[in-house]
Amino acid sequence: MPRDPLVEVRDLSVRFVNRDIDLTVVDDVSFRLDAGEVLCFLGESGSGKTVTMRALLRLLPPHARIGGSIRLAGHDVTAMSERQLEAVRGPVGAMIFQEPMTALDPVFTIGTQIAETIVAHEAVSWAQARARALELLEMVQIPSAARRLDAYPHELSGGLRQRAMIALALSCKPALLLADEPTTALDATVQIQILLLIRSLQKELGMATIFVTHDIGVACEVADRIAVMYAGRFVETGPVADIVASPAHPYTAGLLRSTVSASTRGERLASIPGGPPDLTDMPPGCAFGPRCVSHGAACDAGVPPLIPFAGGRASRCLLTKEVVHAGQGGGSVSREAHM
């Protein structure tokens, strides 16, 4: 019999509601993730990647309203009390935040913060938790780990702080690791080191991982599957190799064309015209329509559904119908599908 997925999200929506506004920032998001699998949320800033990830552990502000279903290792996250959530955050799901300088507490040492997390979730002594904290710092390859154990966050470089943040996230042996653009504030050399470290630890520990990035090169480095987000919705999903080889959605194709590589040296960098839509004033139909070179009248009739096709892929574009009808697994589609 097939195993239940570690993560199962159905029809997720997130609204931010206050006295002045009721704004939907994530809409109609569904996905599954098995143990040991790596999924990457890819898209421009403001596309809903981080909000979707934080919703999995309900790490959203009080004015956020979550709709749909979120199941994490059999737990119904949307129905849990705050006390129940505290038991899930850490052993079941843990998060590496984008900026460790603000995520780590500046008034406690690195060792204290890691040990405190372990003691809160496991029946161990403080001495045992400290010993585990040292092992974790060594695991994430922090040099002079015993000395860094008693260092404060401001005493570490950006790269070492990020490694300490990873150690903290791993302290309770989570089944699911959430990584929110963990290399954004780092220089290129350190970025590569952190990416390789996360991928190595993921394989070694067998964790499922969700990685948020706007860099398709990063997605290719770490992911098994990609979910491309635009204006709060998935617009394309599938295995990373297939999507990179043959994108089915015009937005995905635009992201690929705008990526710098050795083969584009000396050439003008392609860009996607326009900018992401204002979520308070969404265009009719397809949100990407105003920026799409294949935009047609049919695109404005309604929000396109996420259309599944061969190879475990799906695309939220009317052009995808041609792929489905032809029974192909690639994303080579034509303008005529709009007519």
pLDDT attached to residue 21: 87
Structure tokens at 280: 């308070």
Q: How far apart are CA 76 and CA 70, in angstroms?
A: 6
pLDDT over 50 (residue 281): yes
Over residues 72-84, mean pLDDT: 94
Phi and psi at residue 221, to the nearest 5°: -75, -35
pLDDT above 70 for 330: no
- Tell me how far CA of residue 44 lies from CA of 130, 197, 228, 251, 257, in angstroms: 40, 24, 9, 10, 14
Report pLDDT digits (tens) over 96-132. Answer: 988 888 889 999 999 999 999 999 999 999 999 999 9
Residues 7-223, CATH architecture: 3-Layer(aba) Sandwich (3.40)
**C-alpha to C-alpha distances, 302 to 25, 129, 289, 305, 316, nearest whole angstrom:** 18, 55, 11, 9, 11
Q: Per mean pLDDT, which range of 68-77, 144-153, 275-284 is the poorest?
A: 275-284
Predicted confidence (pLDDT) at residue 57 exceeds the cutoff of 70: yes
Whether pLDDT at 232 is above 50: yes
177-211: pLDDT as tens digits: 999 988 776 777 888 888 888 888 898 889 999 99
Cβ proximity of 324 and 307 under 8 Å: yes
Assess contact for 56 and 70: CB atoms under 8 A: yes
DSSP assignment of 296-315: -GGGGSSPPP-EEETTTEEE
Q: How far apart are CA 187 and CA 162, in angstroms?
A: 12
Asked whether residue 331 carries a pLDDT value surpassing 80, the answer given is no
pLDDT of residue 264: 65
Task: Give 296-329 pLDDT, tens digit per residue.
Answer: 889 999 999 999 988 899 999 988 765 444 444 4
- Of the listed ranges 35-44, 128-137, 194-203, the one predicted with least confidence: 194-203
CA-atom Rg of the chain in angstroms: 21
**β-strand partners of 309:** 313
Q: What is the DSSP letter of 336?
A: G
Q: Rounded mean pLDDT of the chain?
A: 88
pLDDT, mean of residues 53-75: 95
pLDDT of residue 321: 60
8 A C-beta contact, residue 212 and residue 180: yes
State pLDDT tens for residues 245-261.
Answer: 999 999 999 998 887 76
**Which pTM was predicted?**
0.88
Least confident of 43-57, 183-197, 222-236, 238-252: 183-197
Domain segments of the chain: what residues? 7-223, 230-338
